[in-house]
Structure 1
Amino acid sequence: MDFFTAYREGQLAGAYHRVPALLADLAPAELARAGRLLAQLDVNDDEATVIRVAITGHGTLSPLVPSLTAEVARHGLRLRPTVGDFGGYLTELSDPDSAIYRAGAELTLCVLDAEAIFAEVPVPWRPADVRAALDEKLSILDKLASIFEANSKGTLVLNTLPLPHRFTAQLVDHRSRAELGALWREANARLLRFGEQHPGVLVIDLEPLLAEGIPVEDPRLAVYAKMHLSAELLARYAREIGHLARGAAGRTKKCLVLDLDGTVWGGILGEDGHDGIEVAEGHHGEAFRAFQRVVKQIGSQGVLLAVVSKNDLEPVRRALTENPAMTLGENDFVRIIANWQPKHDNLRQLAADLNLGVDAFAFVDDSTLECGLVRDQLPGVAVLPVTGDPALHVGTLLADGWFDVRELTVEDRARVDKYREELSRKDFLDSFDSIEQYLAELGVRVRFAPATEAELPRVSQLTLRTNQFNLTTRRLQLPEVRELAGDPAWHVLAIRSGDRFGENGLVGVVFARRGGNSLHLDNFVLSCRVFSRGIERACLSALLHHARENGITEVFGSYRPTAKNGKVADFYPRYGFTALPEPGEFRHDLGEIVAVPPHVELDFGGALQ
């Protein structure tokens, strides 16, 4: 059943989880139509995560809303938009009491176009006039960004300014055209660097989108409706915003899982042998090599790579290690599963091995049958069919930015090695008769101390990407984390761990707020990589003891249930907290405090003085 049929028959209001799959294959024009229908859908707040987006800018922007509604729905989210007045961005972003600020949006879009500049240059004009207008506009945007950061905990999203041909063509000499092109690009480069001075700002570069052949504007709509960006460009822009919304909701994918035959290389390994498959030379070989290069590039930035293939394991390993033309090697993958079991079962096993949910996977396969089975059995997996020309594989993989993050951290770049070490720990565990023996020999080390400035980006990322051990699932952008870290009443405590296999890095964070003689644990977050090692118990014990020593008489903790954090529902009661009448609220009287596990070597840096 397609989306429009399901909508007409009233099957979506109570089954919003079906929407992403139904939207997956719709064309942009159909997505906008679907977005208009989704905006009318009566959906309970507990059926889908709401993402609040405020929209302001220079021209007519109302056509952006339907596309944006559909794009966030593609990721299982529901849009709650606030649209500012026509051309009102200067007033709305400079006034902390405007509707744009009152929306409390996770994302605030300030959509700009070339007309915002040329409306302020004289006629006739020269490139120098445009330079002056650009300089003034960038100065204003810089001030607006500062006001925004001081008054909002969300993210301000700007965009580079596309330069339509109708402006350059008004200059009859090529030297002036070149001058205009250069100064325009310089201004966009300055705009792209706004994030270096303003952590609360992101800038979407429209140039790569225009390179796809999308028109900047429709001349008639630009003149008659003051819509200075085309509907096609706004729809493509909406897709980029959908990726940001997915990240803000903690739904970024963490692992790229690949089929092999017809996906990573051409041919059938079992028939062609490791030296007969297409991986570099020849018409299709070049396409597969290009795909492998992109996969390797993605994997170098903290994305886990894995294989799930219907093959025998030894020939796969041979192909990855002995074929000299292969770009990807065995060591690029954290896990290679090659057998003849159903792929959805193998994906479940892979999730267990990596201690991830299957919704952390993006799965690429050239088989329509396999893609359909995985989509049916594991709806949380992002299924990327590559059923056509292998030259199109790269575009399919990159089209939705499944692994996009706001900022790469040191931990991101080391993630593959950390997960490989984790699999070694699992093998080490198998050599012991009991978990107690294993933990005693593992040599767990924990450093628990106030987060440093350099650690704050990783702290923010943990709140955005951690779903299972996240007691309140409060997603915090970097500016919000910085605000809490700078507030004397708050304590942002980072958890680092290591053991005999190496350092795990920054794996957790506790947000605590002191008020008089009480302490409230606003959230406790721990990476799934370090579950079941006593780290959370050690840190909680240290914090409770430290609180008692510093005049605190009671500690409160909150738990907010989600679809994924059920495994920590009993976290506070397990360690001596008593449930309060209000659901999800707990209290500890600091009488009997659980001890630090004997196998954990804890270094606690203090916090509450």
Structure 2
Amino acid sequence: MERIRYTLLKKLAKEAKEGKKRIAVIGDCATQQLATAIRGESVRRGYPLEVLDADYDQMEAQLLDPASEVYQFQPDYILLFASCEKLKNRFFDTVPAERAGFAEKEMARFQGLWQAISANCKAKILMFDFPEQSDAVFGSFALRTPVSFAFQLRKLNLLFSETAAAAYPNLYPIALSEIQAELGKSAFFEDRTWYLAKMAVCTDALPVVAARLLDTVTALAGKVKKCVVVDLDNTLWGGVIGDDGLDGIQLGELGDGPAFAALQRWLLELKRRGILLAVCSKNNEDTAKEPFEKHPEMVLRLEDFAAFVANWENKAENISRIQKTLNIGMDSFVFLDDNPFERNLVREMLPDVTVPELPEDPALVPAYLDSLHLFEAVSFSEEDAARTAQYQAEASRTAAQSHFTNYDEYLQSLNMTGEILPFDSFHYPRIAQLTQRSNQFNLRTVRYTEADIAAMAEDPDCFTRYMTLADRFGEHGLISVVICRKKNADTLFIDTWLMSCRVLRRGVEGCLFDAIVKMTLDAGFRYLEGEYLPTAKNKMVENFYEEIGMERVAEGQFLLDCTKHQNHAHYIHLNLL
């Protein structure tokens, strides 16, 4: 895979116009070229950022001063770059008797900076971890003595991860250590460049660093991959099942079998993380399913897939069919196929689908896919692990619907139960994740972090609700989020309303709206105000507020006198607050 060069990013940075978001870059090392690379990479991705490069080595001065240049910039993101070289110098300046506590002391320092940022602005915090580095003082023995730099460096990285996970939901670590490991230290860091210019990353490595940063920023903006569609023959196993038979395909220890098994293990881990898997194969369906059902060395099984399409139609049409079944955006798909013809067909007919150019050698495929970093995550919840089962249950619902001629009778037969409750800490990760991932049924498409959600849950001027749904086929989980803010003494404003498209036309919309109206009246307000902000993906809800009973008072603006509201009919048995 050819890497982007810094000269290209520098050129693109000069073409940058007004950015979608703002990011402030601040470090104890030189960050000018990094800021340029970030700006250029953001333009290359079609998500231009306005970038502030703060003065050199001014982290405390900028972040502890509420009137600083960084806070005046009003950033959406603040990137902190604490270099490993400066860290090592501070370690050497620490008296030997205190070196065993060096990592804890450094972590306390960083926590002070994170707390200052949270107190002075609403920016999301991005921070690089520390690449591996040895001082050659103890050799390998450094890994077992707490007074060595290598020991304290590794300890600090562990503390960084543990502290971010436990106490700072608004903090997103960026794995600089992985980039150095991937490129090699000689391609990542140059001693002469550090001594002369205080650059902690060499110029050739900056595009990779900028790309990894943009992976996180765009994921926070909801630009994430949600489904991997895979071919079968010579992709999930070696050989052609229709020709070679069950005993002839390569899996396990046979031929290239270990490489195919490694790919399957990686896909299974993605599925456990909440990424949907789907099959798109040119095969007879019963033949295509045989290895999943009978081969003892298959890692993946049929129950791991949310959709399975095997026929002799062209794959672009079949992927479109899968997209309609799963009801997620086409730009959420990644397609894996060993055949260049099929890859090019999908690229031409479905340009929004990501189609990696897989190596011909199966042994190179797992590492190649790792290197693409296609599946950046900014949150994880227990419901992610159950996502495939939810889509399989949805297929059962669709099959059951075919037995009814009356849709109301079908809805009644589902025995739906739901809960509509205020936000609670257990659900903060899932609620934040929905705001980051939902695009279609999303009236204003505002993205929030776990820290944002927690703050709103405690804000007396915010009124929050989430809804869960279950039926006789299984749990849908948390499927809708509503956030209302006090506008004045009489009016609540619907800041956010989003919902999973999997539950459309089940009566959820009217059921939840009735609950919002009740919440509004119970809180002492009379009016409910809604707004529709159009995006490239939410056209389906442009008339939703009118259809649900609100009056259009201006373009994209809606109002309801809650005292005149009439409840909607539905078949959901509710547990309300």
Shorter-chain TM band: over 0.9
Q: Secondary structure at the match of 1:602?
A: strand
* Equivalent position of 1:211 in the other structure: 181
* Equivalent position of 2:400 in the other structure: 428
* Equivalent position of 2:506 in the other structure: 533
Q: Offset of 1:75 from its aligned partner? A: 4.6
Q: Offset of 1:129 from its aligned partner? A: 6.5
Show structure 2 runs of 5+ residues with no match: none
Distance 2:349 2:50 in 1: 30
* Equivalent position of 1:151 in the other structure: 120
1:192 aligns with 2:166: no
Distance 1:321 1:153 in 2: 51
Q: Secondary structure at the match of 1:385?
A: coil
Deviations 1:428-447 (A, max 9, x none): 11221132222122222221
Give the alignment of 1:165-564 within 5 angstroms.
165=134, 168-169=135-136, 171=137, 175=141, 179=145, 180=148, 181-195=150-164, 196-215=166-185, 216-514=188-486, 515-564=488-537
Give the alignment of 1:24-39 within 5 angstroms.
26-29=2-5, 32-39=6-13
Output the TM-score relative to the length of structure 2: 0.93
Deviations 1:258-284 (A, max 9, x none): 111221111122221222111222341
Q: Offset of 1:77 from its aligned partner? A: 1.8
1:54 aligns with 2:28: no
**513 and 356 in structure 1: CA distance in 2 versus 1, 3 angstrom threshold:** same
Distance 1:220 1:432 in 2: 75
**110 and 534 in structure 1: CA distance in 2 versus 1, 3 angstrom threshold:** same
Assess if the C-alpha contact under 8 Å between 2:443 and 2:531 holds in 1. yes
Distance 2:102 2:389 in 1: 49
Deviations 1:581-606 (A, max 9, x none): 3x31111122542423232223321x
Deviations 1:67-96 (A, max 9, x none): 334544565422221211111112222223
Q: Secondary structure at the match of 1:468?
A: coil
Q: Offset of 1:454 from its aligned partner? A: 1.0
Q: Offset of 1:176 from its aligned partner? A: 6.2
Letter in 2 for 1:162: P
Q: Secondary structure at the match of 1:507?
A: strand
Q: Secondary structure at the match of 1:253?
A: coil
Q: Offset of 1:321 from its aligned partner? A: 0.9
Distance 2:4 2:95 in 1: 38
**482 and 219 in structure 1: CA distance in 2 versus 1, 3 angstrom threshold:** same
Q: Secondary structure at the match of 2:152?
A: helix
Q: Offset of 1:233 from its aligned partner? A: 4.2
Distance 1:440 1:416 in 2: 25
* Equivalent position of 2:56 in the other structure: 86
Letter in 2 for 1:599: Y
Assess if the C-alpha contact under 8 Å between 2:16 and 2:39 holds in 1. no
Assess if the C-alpha contact under 8 Å between 1:450 and 1:493 holds in 2. yes
Distance 2:531 2:67 in 1: 31
Moved more, 241-250 or 194-203: 194-203
Q: Secondary structure at the match of 1:563?
A: coil
**386 and 548 in structure 1: CA distance in 2 versus 1, 3 angstrom threshold:** same
Q: Secondary structure at the match of 2:412?
A: helix
Assess if the C-alpha contact under 8 Å between 1:448 and 1:494 holds in 2. yes
Distance 1:74 1:42 in 2: 10
Deviations 1:211-253 (A, max 9, x none): 2242242111111111122234443322221211121110111
Q: Secondary structure at the match of 1:399?
A: helix
**132 and 604 in structure 1: CA distance in 2 versus 1, 3 angstrom threshold:** closer
Q: Offset of 1:472 from its aligned partner? A: 0.0
Q: Secondary structure at the match of 1:221?
A: helix
Q: Offset of 1:487 from its aligned partner? A: 0.6
* Equivalent position of 2:66 in the other structure: 96
Assess if the C-alpha contact under 8 Å between 1:363 and 1:381 holds in 2. yes
**279 and 96 in structure 1: CA distance in 2 versus 1, 3 angstrom threshold:** farther
* Equivalent position of 1:11 in the other structure: none
Distance 1:176 1:274 in 2: 52
Letter in 1 for 2:27: G
Distance 1:468 1:574 in 2: 17
Deviations 1:47-83 (A, max 9, x none): xxx2432211111112223433454456542222121
Output the TM-score relative to the length of structure 1: 0.88
Q: Offset of 1:173 from its aligned partner? A: 7.2
Q: Offset of 1:421 from its aligned partner? A: 0.6
Moved more, 396-405 or 220-229: 396-405
Show structure 1 runs of 5+ residues with no match: 1-24
Assess if the C-alpha contact under 8 Å between 1:458 and 1:506 holds in 2. yes
Letter in 1 for 2:286: E
Distance 1:219 1:130 in 2: 25
Moved more, 336-345 or 191-200: 191-200
Distance 2:141 2:471 in 1: 64
How many positions carry a matched residue from both structures? 570
**185 and 332 in structure 1: CA distance in 2 versus 1, 3 angstrom threshold:** same
**176 and 475 in structure 1: CA distance in 2 versus 1, 3 angstrom threshold:** closer
Moved more, 341-350 or 131-140: 131-140
Moved more, 282-291 or 226-235: 226-235
RMSD: 2.3
Assess if the C-alpha contact under 8 Å between 2:131 and 2:178 holds in 1. no
Q: Offset of 1:148 from its aligned partner? A: 1.6
